[in-house]
Amino acid sequence: MIPNNNQTLDSQRKDDHVNLALEQQAAMKHSAFDDVRFVHHSFSDLSMQQVDLSTEWAGHSFNLPFYINGMTGGSAYTKQFNQKLAEVARETGLAMASGSVSAALKDPSVSDSFTIIREVNPNGFVMANLGAHHNLENAKRAVDLLKADALQIHLNVPQEVVMPEGDRDYRSWPDNIADIVSDLGVPVILKEVGFGMSRETMEQLVRLGVQTIDVSGRGGTNFVKIENDRRDRLDFSDLNGWGQTTPESLLESLSVQRTLDVLASGGIRHYTDIIKALAFGAKATGLSGKFLASVHEKGVADTVQTVRDWESAIRHMMLMLGCSNLAELRRTNIVISGELRSWAEARQID
């Protein structure tokens, strides 16, 4: 796409991402979470007052087990989204991540599209976000800029491959991650961007010292498709289905959940997907595209109401399942079917 008169290629890309992600939300229907069902039992020995949704990850406690995941910043247009999302975070207490702060490290004139998050929500839990090619010094600059409580580092090889201007040399990533995790001074969350994670990746992250991951699987916002849609040459549309879905990635994570705090994002549509991800052992679930579309189409007040409705719905489902907290929810009975079951069998996951 051709940049508007006053825009750099970088800020045009950020605007395209938002607009194409919004289009994808409108088209989203089937999800791998539909292959996950709870077994209904006829007794629940709980009262609503006993249901506790609190959770802990990255060394912090949170009242709600979901958050606004990393998306945007880097242009005047995306600043408006960060402002609205930060208002939702402030009103609901949800944690919130920015999009990659790389743009502001390169071009300080767009810093305000990120710092707005902290201005609007001075006391909330805010995460900065950067790619794994950045070193410790840049990670410190990103955290300082947002006065962030934590840093998300994203792993996005398929997206880079599909972008003609994308990175083609990933050799520095492991050392950068190890340095940042060891010396940044705030918790670090390693996340995918919608392609999911394998058990092997998670084990490698453990060896690098990582303590918190977000598996961010396939099923929601699709960055191969977004990058394909931004150009008409070098089309990688065969890769539109690349990667593990979020439930597949959560199955992959079962063997590392004692060592790592596992967060889940990618294609979370509503409160039933949230509770299913929590039942698979996620400490919390992140939503990007869904919150983006919600603030865009319904505005801040309605999005705040949706968060409150979801909290209430999750509490009621916990009551129905007889689970007073997330640890009990992890022990509830689940049945998986379809492609998810085939994945579990092929990867020998019980």
| Residues lying near ligand FNR in the complex (CB under 6 A) | 17-18, 21, 69-72, 99-100, 129, 152, 154, 191, 193-194, 216, 220-221, 265-268, 287-290, 292
Beta strand 150-154 with 96-100 is unpaired
**Do the annotations mark residue 42 as ligand-binding?**
no
Is 147 annotated to bind a ligand? Reply is: no
* CB-CB contact of 189 with 211 (8 Å): no
Q: What is the CA radius of gyration of the chain?
A: 19
Minimum distance between the CB of residue 129 and ligand FNR, rounded to whole angstroms?
A: 5
Comparison of 65 and 99: residue with beta carbon closer to ligand FNR = 99
Q: Which is nearer to ligand FNR, 213 or 321 (CB)?
A: 213
Q: Tell whether 100 is in a known binding site.
A: yes
Nearer to ligand FNR, 87 or 192 (CB): 192
Specify which residues 332 forms β-bridges with.
none
**Between residues 72 and 272, which has the closer beta carbon with respect to ligand FNR?**
72
CB distance 167 to 160 below 8 Å? yes
Q: Is 74 annotated as a binding residue?
A: no
14 is in an annotated binding site: yes
Angle at 336 between CA 332 and CA 340, to 5 degrees: 135
Was 83 annotated as part of a binding site? Answer: no
Consult the annotation and say whether 259 binds a ligand: no
Q: Would you say 266 or 281 has its CB closer to ligand FNR?
A: 266
- Closer residue to ligand FNR (CB): 17 or 134: 17
Nearest-approach distance from CB 347 to ligand FNR, in angstroms: 22
CB of 333 to ligand FNR, least distance (A): 27
Q: Please list the alpha-helical segments (H only) found in the chain.
A: 9-27, 76-92, 102-106, 112-120, 136-146, 157-162, 173-183, 199-207, 223-229, 246-253, 271-279, 289-297, 299-321, 326-329, 338-346
CA–CA gap between residue 222 and residue 25 (Å, rounded): 10
Tell me how far, at minimum, the Cβ of 222 lies from ligand FNR, in Å: 8
Return the structure tokens found at 128. Answer: 């900065």
- Closest residue to bound ligand FNR by CB: 220
- 160 annotated as a binding-site residue: yes
Return all residues near 53 (Cβ < 8 A) that are at least 6 apart.
63, 64, 65, 311, 314, 315, 318, 325, 326
Instruction: Please report how close the Cβ of residue 306 comes to ligand FNR at its closest, in angstroms.
Output: 14
Is the Cβ of residue 248 or residue 324 nearer to ligand FNR in the bound state?
A: 248
Six token digits for residue 9: 């290629």
Q: Of 64, 83, 63, which Cα lies nearest the Cα of 73?
A: 83
Q: How far is the CB of 298 from ligand FNR (least distance, A)?
A: 16
Residue 17 to residues 132, 195, 201, 254, Cα–Cα distance (Å) = 19, 16, 26, 32
Residue 322 in marked binding region: no
**Rounded alpha-carbon distances, angstroms, from residue 45 to 50, 319, 329:** 10, 9, 14
326 vs 205: CA distance, rounded Å: 25
Could you tell me the smallest distance in angstroms from the CB atom of residue 313 to ligand FNR? 18
User: Per the annotation, where are the binding residues?
Assistant: 13-14, 70-72, 100, 129, 159-160, 191, 216, 221, 267-269, 288-289
User: Per the annotation, where are the binding residues for Mg(2+)?
Assistant: 160
User: Per the annotation, where are the binding residues for FMN?
Assistant: 70-72, 100, 129, 191, 216, 221, 267-269, 288-289
